Amino acid sequence: MVVDTYLPTENEKEIADAYNNLGICCIHSKKYDEAAYNLNNALDWSERANYFEGQLESLTQLGILAENEYNYQKAFEQYSAALQIAETMKNQYQKARLIYYIGMLQYYSNQFPKALEILRQSQQIIEKNELQEYLPEVEEMIKEIQSLIGSDY
């Protein structure tokens, strides 16, 4: 296993990154149990190393995993925990991304006005921080929701 090559180095950040990468690969391969195992290991190693970037990635990917399994409550919890880290790190890109994910959970749950409100928060962060390459996706969802509930919102 790839992670085994890092264990002798005891570099906790490298180990965390390796577990995160394995977890992401497992999500893409729809091997969700393996993904959870690897991402939880990544989170553990990241916490040991006080490695916020690793924690942020692990929690975000655990949220994506829960979302893929239609466990929206668990996804919300993971995204919210990741959002706290992104705010602490002042990482505006990740903050906008996580708020977008949380908005999409509301959309999937047919909570359209709430989804619209949250997606607009993501849009504001993107615009304020000149992350324009991410704006079309958010604007597209905002337009779709407005078409579902009316443009008065």
pTM score, whole prediction = 0.90
* Low pLDDT (below 50) residues in the chain: none
Q: Where are the alpha helices (DSSP H) in the chain?
A: 2-6, 12-28, 32-48, 52-68, 72-89, 92-108, 112-128, 135-149
Domain range annotation of the chain: 1-71, 91-153
CATH of domain 1-71: 1.20.58
Contact 74, 111 (CB under 8 A): no
Name the nearest CA neighbour of 41 among 17, 77, 75: 17
Q: Mean pLDDT across the chain, nearest whole number?
A: 93
